[in-house]
Structures are given as structure tokens and as C-alpha cells.
Amino acid sequence: MSDSITISAASFAIRPVSSFDEFADHSRGLLDQAAGSDLVLFPELFTLELFTIADSWQDDPVTELTRIGDYTREYRSLFISEARKRNQFIAAGSHLEYREDGYYNIAYIFGPDGEQYEHRKTHIFPAEADWSTREGDDMDVFELPFATVGFNVCYETEIPECASSLAEQGAEIILCPSYTFTEYGYWRVRHCAQARAIENQVYFAHCATGGAPGGPIPSGWTQSSILSPCDLPWTPSGVVAQAPVANTENVVTGVVDLDVLRRNRLDGAATTFQDRRRRVESYRRWPSHTTARQLG
């Protein structure tokens, strides 16, 4: 594995389009800005832009947003083709897709040699209940040629067990495609992403959907970033790279070093990756003791 990885996060702003080809051109324009990166990340449900193709989209109810699943074949074909053509791994955000028992919010990675990985979002944000999406059950890592990665899709980042499970399986980079409808939601995810990076000594790529297209499509609040633990090898803030302006479509690119991360896990000022695991048996006992005190 190469130690130095270049990551780009594309802050995609949803806008009305008239065809799938227009959506594809929109996506390619951002990929062009990420030329040379090893990994390009798109945000959560940026494919809702496809909902605007229908003439009636502004008047349709929010429950109809799952209609974008009709474009699943074209969406996957687009990013399979672009990953191969650009010789890049593309984490193509997430997409609503119908599977055996309902719709799932599925995040994908497409590779230059035809690799495909997917993750079904395991914790649905309460507002997503209107879309009748189901929850996945698995939290897996994926071995890319340059790093071990995994997904925490938006709200999953606010559930600490999701990131710690990936770190336990060897993840060094966690990909966080997100779609938050308010600035409050954005900062919940962003602050949690930074906390998860510190707790598990991993890199976090946070990529958020933007735009205010109207109709039933929620507005997005975005300022994508690439985050590290807050320790001496990096900036005090733990920000490797960040979009310079909020709520503007752009691509932010940063370089992360896995060898630095591995050394920091051993001799950093805060060796949280090791320390939060060495007393696991105590953690397992604490809930029962707390319950006993409350009942006593």
C-alpha cells in the first residue's frame, strides 16, 4: 500500500436538470476538478437531482423521492465508466435503491478495474422516515489498493459505534457522504466526524450535499472537509483541507499519510486507538453497575 493518499471531496449542489445526461455532465464537471486524486468522494443522495427531470417534480410529495431509484442502472453505469476512464476510485455518494424488501440508502465505491463495493446505511435519520427507507445491518471495511476504508453515511457518524466498528476492522479512512438540511445538522455531523477521527485515530472525509432546488427536495448545507486526529503531525484543529466557502459548489482536495497515522497510534500525545480498547472489559461492566446504583 502507498502511504500517501490524495482525496477529493466534491460539494455537489443539487439543481434542476432536464435529463440524466445533464446530471452526468454535472458530475463529470466535478470529477474534472479532482483529476489526479486517488479517491473522489461525492455526498449523500446527490442523486436527488434526478428527481427534477419529471415535469411535475416541484408539486410532487416528499414520499415520491424514492422515484430516483428508477435511474439506478444509469447511475451505476456512469460511475463504473468514469472510474475506469479516469483510473480513480470514486465513492459515488449514496443513492436510493429498491432491493428485495424495500428502498435502501446505499453508498457505493467504484474502482478503475471494475471493483464495486456497497454499504447500506444502518441508522436512518428521523426525517428520512418520510421516504420509507429501510436500514441495513452491516458495517464492513473495504480493502482498496492504497488504504482500508469504510462508510459512515451522515447520521451514522453521530453513532460512535459505527466508526469504532470500522476502526476495529482496520479502517484508516472513513468516508462520510452527508446531506444535512440545516446548519445545525451540518455541524452535528462535522463535530462528530472530528470526534470520531480523534477517538479512533483515523482520517475522516466529510462530503456534504448543497443546493436549494425547491419542491420536496430539502435544501442542503455544505462545507466539505478532510479531517485528521488533533495531534502534532497535523494542524491543531485537525483539518487537513476544507472548502473555503460554505454553501458553494466546489471540490476540496487534501493529502493524507497513512504511515504518519500508524505511528501516531503508537506514540501520539493521545493514543486513543489503543487506550479506548485496553479497558473494554470495564466498559462492559459499567452499565450493570450504573443500573444497580439507580435501583438501589
Tell me which residues are annotated as active site: 44, 121, 154
CATH code of the domain in which 216 resides? 3.60.110.10
**How many domains is the chain built from?**
1
Find the domain containing 132 and state its range: 4-295
What confidence tier does 1 reach under pLDDT thresholds 50, 70, 90?
very low
Please enumerate in sequence order all residues whose Cβ is within 8 A of that of 170, keeping only pairs 6 or more positions apart, or say none. Answer: 141, 148
258: left (phi over 0), alpha (psi -120 to 50) or beta: alpha
pLDDT tens track for 17-62: 999 999 999 999 999 999 999 999 999 999 999 999 999 999 999 9
- pLDDT tens digits, residue range 250-267? 999 999 999 999 999 999
